[in-house]
Amino acid sequence: MLSGDIPPSQTIYIKNLNEKVKKEELKRSLYALFSQYGRILDVVALKTPKLRGQAWVVFTEITAASNAVRQMQNFPFYDKPMIFDSVQIASLISLRERIQYAKTKSDCIAKEDGSYDKKKKQEEKAERKRRAEEAQQSTMPNGASAQNGGSTASFRHGNSSAQEAVAPNNILFIENLPHEATSMMLEMLFQQYPGFREVRMIEAKPGIAFVEFEDDQQSSMAMQTLQGFKITPQNPMTITFAKK
């Protein structure tokens, strides 16, 4: 079940993002997460009903986009110093399935390579609008909003003994950090997520840290997007909920 039949491009399409995260916040997080794969030209995210929860990250190089897609696909399960629990595996799987190449060229790329055609663009837009209106007409105009908190915090994987070990917590436990990691570096990374409170590191225990958020959902969001983030290439960080 790979990313389907869409050919590689400089732009990756990401779906299933938390719709509650503010647009700017989301763009910044994606930028932070994906800039490890190469230079990013643009991050596009809109909050319109049709486009919320999705984003496009435009790289300067196709290879960077491919790396981003591939890295997420082959998430480093086996490099991890600890055994993965079902919650983490579930969140990794959902991460993997969220990322594909974009179907069409990003405007910022088309502008670069001269293929950007403003007229055509407007026609396409008008066309989309017309079709959307048609669709509106055939259904009853009724704002059916299927709200699904979209949180990773509420997994319902049978096995209650496993669940005990991984109960969501507003405090995250970070492992496999390079020894040169500082609390400021972690702060830069985590503070971009809503609800961030503080980073705590322990002098005597290098390689680990605790990161506190206001609540479980906010910590989950940060965990999900920063899971495996590499401060150095050798050190994908492992994030779990701290034990209560």
Partner DNA sequence: AGCACA
The kind and range of the H/E element at 137 are: helix 118-138
Judged by CB under 7 A, which stretch of 46-54, 63-71, 82-90, 177-185 contacts DNA?
A: 46-54
CA angle centred on 228, ends 185 and 60, rounded to 5°: 80
Q: What is the DSSP letter of 37?
A: G
Judged by CB under 7 A, which stretch of 13-21, 66-74, 134-142, 225-233 contacts DNA?
A: 13-21
Rounded to whole angstroms, how far apart are CA atoms 26 and 44?
Answer: 10
Residue 16 interacts with DNA (CB under 7 A): yes or no: yes
Cα 151 to Cα 16, 133, 218: the distances in Å are: 11, 32, 9
HEC states along 62-118? HHHHHHHHHHHHCCCCCCCCCCCCHHHHHHHHHHHHHEEECCCCCHHHHHHHCCCCH
Residues 76-115 that bind DNA (CB under 7 A): 100-108, 110
Residue 125 interacts with DNA (CB under 7 A): yes or no: yes
Rounded to whole angstroms, how far apart are CA atoms 231 and 239?
Answer: 13
Residue 130 interacts with DNA (CB under 7 A): yes or no: no
Residue 151 interacts with DNA (CB under 7 A): yes or no: no
Residue 157 interacts with DNA (CB under 7 A): yes or no: no
Residue 52 interacts with DNA (CB under 7 A): yes or no: yes
Name the minimum Å distance from CB 35 to DNA. 17
- Looking at beta carbons only, is 145 or 159 nearer to DNA? 145
Question: Given the rule CB under 7 A, which residues bind DNA?
Answer: 6, 11, 13, 15-17, 19, 42, 44, 46, 48, 50-54, 56, 58, 100-108, 110, 125, 128, 146, 148
